[in-house]
A and B are shown apart, each in its own frame.
Chain A
Amino acid sequence: MAERIVVDPITRIEGHLRAEVEISDGTIQEAFLSSTMVRGLENIVKGRNPKDVWAFVQRTCGVCTSTHATTSVRAVEDALGIVVPPNAEMVRNMMLGAVYLHDHVVHFYHLHAFDWVDVVNGLSADPVKTSQLAQSISNWPKSSPGYFSDLQKRLKKFVASGQLGIFANGYWGHPAMKLPPEANLMATAHYLEALEWQKEIVKVHAIFGGKNPHPNYLVGGMACSINLDDASGLNAERLAHVRQLLEEGKRFVEQVYIPDILAIAGFYKDWGAIGGFHNFMAFGDFPMEGYNNTNPATFKFPSGVILNKDLTKVHNLDLKDLKTVEEHVNNSWYDYSGDPKGGKHPWVGETNINYTGPKPPYTHLDVDQKYSFIKTPRWKGQAMEVGPLARMLVGYASGREEFKEIIDATLSKLQVPAGALFSTLGRTAARALESKLVADWNLEFFDKLIENIKNGDTRMANTEKWETSTWPKEAKGVGLVEAPRGALSHWIVIKDGKTENYQQVVPSTWNASPRDPKGQRSPYEATLLNTPVADPELPLEIIRTIHSFDPCIACAVHLYDEKGEIIKTVNDISVCTV
């Protein structure tokens, strides 16, 4: 008989995620994913001034704190037909680019790496050999035998004290851990360096948006005016600081993140055949000629859909068609007016919360009934994976040279077939590869801003439609952003100058949702199937695949047996550091 184990909470960006998984013969046979926490921001912003909404929905998350604000101002601008000045577009690109570098590095080192890296095992590494390993894969200066030896001594003291702190209760010594001690020590060193580094890159947000987390945005552009001859605006000093931060970010990605990913992936090639999905969707982002530009070639990330792993065809999104995107609540704790099994387009979407799940504390969810607070979105009736892998695959299938180059080079370096892209390993590698692309683009955005200013354009905000009196009586719009975690959309209906309806369809909605009315699984549930689990009491394999989608938040993994007794509590080392 299958053993049902519960992992709750698993991390997710804005709340708790629970997995109920049935294992028999050492592999996962069935999986149900549930968000046990409600968001409800859609209801909070109803009736508010649309110009204010970005600040509310920005608080959806404390990690990728720019993405929801960007999406919101884009939705309002789309509704009102506002075109933001090119300078504001480049500033927003750089801010989003900084989020990518910050998010991906933090996710890999602080949320995901210790699914693959064994810190305690690194204590037996030879510092000289660790130094040789580090220097053979990168020019990163912190690589001397003395550096690793000092670190190892500090770690040993840490472990001997019995107070492991951030390293307490990981999956140390798990049979699925494969790295040699030297690689473990090197990766642990970079974990600590990344902690220091991550507080630097977000200064890009402080300069343009005043602070991080939750920098300020503005409908119509950005508030950070340019004035080269005054200390009060963006001037040469402020801009030089941004340039320096972007360069440092690029260096860390190139000299630490990418070499580490390649080195670690080499020991986990079996994960190139586990945890893959078949449909992928990207909204596209980083506009170079205006967000309103209809030519997809002017966006750094192209948009499109890939069906059934077929990389020879990229389908158009057609998002504004009312039938293209629909959210279902057949398995979610909401009520819909009209057909309860029917889907609703976000512009006519509803957020009528109605929890009908078991009363806590409970052992298992009744998965024959509704079982999650996440709605189930579908594109033309199909489940979609969104995120780094989707973006890289859409770029690859669109024939973009820079995507093909970096993906092909990685496949050849790792000596794995193209099919390995559709996997947990592919997802984790795609995140690193796109960080490299974005790190390069950041400098292009910067140069374009400077070029524009040199040409005499110092506009930063378009305030022609600032006053509500200039708006139409009714309008609706959509804001699309490629958040680091995937395709993010906000849908607004404006009436009489107020927010009449608002819906957020976030990346986790696509990836982590429960089954749709046809019984189709979304990516989290689908990708766990057939995963081997060496030790059901320490289900590292579940965490590997779920983390590869980039959930967040500190978590403790509690395992229950079939009677609901806690058999093991593992404090996950995925500590959210921001």
Chain B
Amino acid sequence: MAGIIVHVVTFGKLPELDNAGRPKAFYSKRVHDSCYRRPYFDAGLFAENFDDEGAKKGYCLYKVGCKGPSTYNACGNMKWNGGVSYPIQSGHGCIGCSAKDFWDAGSFYSRDQSVVDGFIESDSDTLGKVALGAVGVGLAAHAVASNFAKKDDLKRRENQGKINEKQLEN
């Protein structure tokens, strides 16, 4: 609200609005798009439950209900209370409070339905079968393949890092 007043005072006009009538300055991107944990989503590294190893390492919160993939808001850019933190940074998934009818879109802890089924959890064989029956086969397959490549790459780097550390200690 304050942001809109500042915009009007500074530029002498209302800010541009999205199709839901909200200022684009704050609602043009998904929480998912500005998420600093996004690389872990792309790499398939998730917190499987609250306070587990993945949660402690700051992995993606999609599997514990984060609605970032379907929620348009600027929490990840602006953060809250003078930039101190925002829900995902403090370990809880986005509950999607600026998404339409979010309170009736299933539990705050169920997986975001906007993410394609099987995209995250299945192995590559199953995904291949899913992808064959789906529209936009090529794109999906490419995305899946690149995700698995990233995951492997991340694991390889992590292992290499451990080897390097050991060498330094010796």
Contacts and interface: CB of A to CB of B under 8 A. Distances in A.
A207 B84 contact: yes
Contacts of B57: 227, 230, 232
Contact of A211 (B51, B58, B80): B80
A227 B37 CA distance: 16
Contact of A230 (B58, B81, B89): B58
Interface string B80-105: 11101111111110010000000100
B84 to A, nearest CB: 4
A160 interface: no
Contacts of A233: 56, 58, 91
A3 interface: no
A206 B51 contact: no
B110 to A, nearest CB: 8
Contacts of A209: 87, 90, 92
Interface in B63-122: 75, 80-82, 84-92, 95, 103, 107-109
Contacts of A463: 49-52
Contact of A225 (B51, B75, B82): B51
Contacts of A206: 80-81, 84-86, 90
A226 B87 contact: no
B50 A220 contact: yes
B55 interface: yes
Contacts, number: 103
A459 interface: yes
A216 B81 CA distance: 14
A203 B82 contact: yes
A241 B84 CA distance: 10
Contacts of A216: 87, 90, 92, 95
Given A202-B81, A218-B50, A232-B58, A223 B90 contact: yes
Interface string A209-233: 1111001101011111111001111
Contacts of B75: 211
B58 A231 contact: yes
A462 to B, nearest CB: 8
A210 B109 CA distance: 16
A51 interface: yes
Main secondary structure of the interface of B (DSSP, over half): loop
Interface string A38-55: 000000000001011001
A197 interface: no
Main secondary structure of the interface of A (DSSP, over half): loop
Interface string A49-75: 101100110000000000000000000
Interface in A177-223: 199, 202-203, 205-212, 215-216, 218, 220-223
Interface in A452-469: 458-461, 463, 466
A225 B64 CA distance: 14
Sorting the interface of chain A by its residue count into under 10, 10 to 19, 20 to 34 or 35 or more gives 35 or more
Contacts of B95: 55, 216
| Chain B CB within 10 A, most for which of A51, A212, A233 | A233
B158 to A, nearest CB: 13
Given A218-B50, A225-B56, A232-B58, A203 B84 contact: yes
A210 B87 contact: yes
Contacts of A232: 37, 56-58, 89
Contacts of B86: 206, 210-211
A223 B84 contact: no
Nearest to B107: A49
Contacts of B37: 232
A209 B90 CA distance: 6
B56 A226 contact: yes
A456 B140 CA distance: 44
Nearest to B40: A232
Contacts of B82: 199, 203
| Chain A CB within 10 A, most for which of B51, B58, B84 | B51
A51 B85 contact: no
A210 B108 contact: no
A225 to B, nearest CB: 5
A55 B92 CA distance: 12
A203 B103 contact: no
Contact of B92 (A207, A218, A459): A218
Nearest to B37: A232
Contacts of B49: 463, 466
Nearest to B61: A223
Interface string A484-527: 00000000000000000000000000000000000000000000
A207 B85 contact: yes
Nearest to B109: A51
Nearest to B55: A225
B50 A461 contact: yes
B60 to A, nearest CB: 11
Contacts of A223: 50-51, 55, 90-92
Nearest to A233: B56
A212 B107 CA distance: 22
Interface in B146-169: none
Contact of A210 (B56, B58, B88, B103): B88
Nearest to B36: A232
A224 B56 contact: no
Contact of B81 (A212, A221, A224): A212
Interface in A281-303: none
A221 B56 contact: no
Nearest to A48: B107
A542 B123 CA distance: 69
Given A56-B103, A223-B92, 11 more contacts: A209-B92, A210-B86, A211-B80, A218-B50, A220-B50, A224-B92, A225-B51, A225-B91, A232-B89, A233-B58, A463-B49
13 contacts: A49-B109, A199-B82, A203-B81, A206-B80, A206-B81, A209-B87, A210-B87, A210-B92, A223-B90, A224-B91, A227-B57, A227-B58, A232-B57
Interface of B: 37, 49-52, 55-58, 75, 80-82, 84-92, 95, 103, 107-109
Closest 6 CB pairs of A and B: A232-B58, A210-B87, A210-B90, A216-B92, A223-B92, A461-B51
Interface of A: 49, 51-52, 55-56, 199, 202-203, 205-212, 215-216, 218, 220-227, 230-233, 241, 458-461, 463, 466
